[in-house]
Structures are given as C-alpha cells and as structure tokens.
Amino acid sequence: MAQIEITLPNDKQAQFERLAAEEFLTEERAIEGLLSVGLEAYRDVADRTETEVERSLFSADAEDEYGQRGEL
C-alpha cells in the first residue's frame, strides 16, 4: 500500500479528526473512504461530455439573465 504525507491547515485537520472519530473506525479508513468518494465524484464530472458541460453553462447564464422560466 502506498504511503502519502500531506500538510493540512489546522482547521481542516480538526474537521478531519472529528469526522474520522465520528464516522470511521480508524483515520486510515477515513482517508480511504474520503478519497474514494472524491475520486468517484471527479470521475463522474470528467466523464460528462463537452456538450453537456456547455449546455449546463449556457443554461446557468440564461437563468441568470432571464430567470428560471425565461421571463424578463
């Protein structure tokens, strides 16, 4: 198994320690679980086609300018 050393700001370290203590058996399992979820989410975004991304960006711009129903 690979070993990785990271440096976290104090607030992120405190959040991680609380989460690990409340939700996981060990810090190692917490790291594995959080990395798995993050990598899965990243892969899902990366798998989206360019057309879907462009459409969602256009939709957001249109909603900002015209409202959700195309009203002025």
* 4-58 per-position pLDDT tens digit: 899 999 999 999 999 999 999 999 999 999 999 998 888 877 776 555 655 665 5
User: Residue 1: is its pLDDT beyond 50?
Assistant: yes
Its pTM stands at 0.55
17, 10 in Cβ contact below 8 A? no
| Helix or strand holding residue 61 (H, E) | helix 50-66
d(CA 6, CA 18): 18
CA separation, residue 29 to residues 4, 8, 10, 72 (Å) = 14, 18, 20, 51
